[in-house]
């Protein structure tokens, strides 16, 4: 990235056939930068800028740097606005969840000006702001059930991001993943309610783990609480208990022995079997959703559903068959011989 850019962290990037939108955080301010192809055409119908965009888009599958190049291309005309609207202010403390997800937001449209990109400030678009804000109503049946069962509710203002002592300035603008309550040391993994179906699916599963002794010894995600907005009517997301000293399977496997990899495969398989016995599907089998703890044991996490390409076929998403296919993919990833799996009951 160009050294002249202010520090920032990407929040979201969308690109269609002839349009794109990029949302970033910079110094605690949010910028939404967008365009449609017609905005990029010159007065004589010159599509040079359009073709530049399409070149980035068409390179995404083959060039690992194409996305970063597209970001830089879109943001370069915005640097003046970024410096004016988000001036450098020394960071003293990481943001609270309430501060992070309710920042001042600026909208910038890209357009063609004499053959070059220009950023033009636009009025706010509440629909875009709403889509960037994790929120689900407290009256949602799954949320109501959680509250009725005594799941702790913690205000977003009281939860702050945890950053490393040597954090860079741009790290303050990353979506907070690990948080703690102000004045307390207990850490949690934060999961925002961006997609309501996924949020409900995970909360429902975590409630089952919390309320049934059948799962007491199962190495899976555990619900730590709900995060509330200050309106008293909505939930920002949920908290998952933090597994200290852990790393993802993908990282752990790099230096692991064959015996360790075989152990992890056995543990993951045993966990999934117990989930299936309780009629619960994991739903998103991949190395990033397995943690290896400080004792070298494997934990299954993330029950929001989904399907990662290359691990489970799309038509098996959310099924026991998909979980079993994912387990076989994991065994291949770990470089061990697949032992096989029982077919799910019909």
Q: Are residues 117 and 154 in the same domain?
A: no
Structural domain range at position 220: 136-241
Whole-number percent of the chain with pLDDT over 90: 77
Number of structural domains found in the chain: 3
Q: Is the pTM of this model over 0.95?
A: no
- Same domain, yes or no: 87 and 141: no
pLDDT-based confidence at residue 338 (cuts at 50, 70, 90): low
Answer yes or no: are the C-beta atoms of 46 and 57 closer than 8 Å: no
Tokens (6 digits) for 102: 């309710």
Render pLDDT for 272-316 as a digit per residue (tens, 0 to 9).
999 999 999 998 899 999 999 999 999 999 999 888 888 999 999
23 shares its domain with 117: yes
The b-or-e profile of 329-344 (16+ CB within 10 A means b, else e) is bbbebbeeeeeebeee
Dist. CA 320–CA 225, nearest whole Å: 28
Is 208 domain-assigned?
yes
Average pLDDT over residues 38-61: 87
Could you read off the pLDDT of 227-245 as tens digits, one per residue? 999 998 999 999 999 999 9
What tens digit of pLDDT does each residue of 54-88 get?
999 899 888 889 899 999 999 999 999 999 999 88
Task: Indicate if 35 and 117 belong to the same structural domain.
Answer: yes
How do residues 252-274 score in pLDDT, each as one tens digit?
Answer: 999 999 999 999 999 999 999 99
Q: Which strands make up the sheet holding 298-300, listed edge to edge?
A: 247-248, 290-292, 298-300
Same structural domain for residues 114 and 227?
Answer: no
Q: In terms of domains, do 18 and 122 share one?
A: yes
Specify whether 125 is located in the same domain as 182.
Answer: no
For residues 224 and 152, what is the distance between their CA atoms, to the nearest angstrom?
A: 7
Contact 134, 231 (CB under 8 A): no
One domain for residues 277 and 237 = no
Q: Output Rg (C-alpha) for the chain, integer angstroms.
A: 23
Q: Which residues are CB-neighbours of 164 under 8 A, at least 6 positions away?
A: 171
Tell me: do 290 and 319 sit in the same domain: yes
């Amino acid at each position: 990235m160009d050294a002249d850019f202010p520090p920032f962290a990407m929040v979201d990037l969308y690109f269609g056939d002839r349009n794109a939108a990029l949302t970033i955080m910079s110094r605690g301010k949010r910028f939404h930068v967008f365009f449609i192809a017609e905005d990029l055409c010159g007065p004589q119908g010159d599509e040079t800028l359009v073709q530049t965009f399409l070149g980035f888009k068409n390179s995404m599958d083959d060039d690992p740097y194409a996305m970063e190049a597209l970001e830089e291309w879109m943001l370069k005309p915005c640097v003046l606005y970024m410096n004016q609207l988000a001036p450098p202010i020394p960071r003293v403390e990481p943001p609270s969840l309430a501060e992070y997800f309710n920042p001042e937001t600026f909208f910038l449209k890209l357009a063609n000006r004499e053959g070059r990109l220009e950023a033009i400030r636009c009025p706010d678009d509440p629909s875009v702001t709403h889509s960037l804000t994790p929120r689900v109503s407290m009256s949602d049946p799954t949320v109501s059930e959680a509250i009725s069962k005594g799941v702790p509710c913690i205000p977003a203002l009281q939860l702050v991001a945890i950053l490393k002592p040597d954090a860079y300035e741009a790290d303050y603008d990353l979506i907070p993943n690990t948080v703690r309550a102000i004045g307390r040391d207990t850490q949690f993994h934060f999961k925002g309610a961006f997609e309501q179906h996924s949020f409900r699916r995970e909360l429902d599963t975590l409630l089952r783990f919390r309320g049934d002794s059948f799962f007491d010894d199962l190495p899976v995600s555990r619900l730590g609480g709900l995060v509330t907005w200050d309106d008293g009517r909505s939930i920002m997301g949920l908290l998952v208990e933090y597994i200290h000293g852990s790393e993802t399977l993908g990282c752990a496997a790099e230096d692991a022995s064959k015996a360790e990899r075989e152990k992890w495969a056995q543990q993951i398989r045993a966990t999934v079997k117990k989930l299936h016995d309780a009629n619960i599907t994991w739903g998103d089998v991949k190395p990033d959703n397995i943690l290896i703890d400080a004792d070298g044991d494997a934990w299954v996490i993330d029950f929001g559903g989904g399907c990662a390409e290359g691990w489970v076929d799309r038509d098996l998403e959310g099924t026991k068959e998909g979980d079993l296919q994912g387990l076989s993919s994991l065994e291949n990833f770990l470089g061990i011989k697949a032992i096989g799996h029982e077919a799910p009951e019909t």
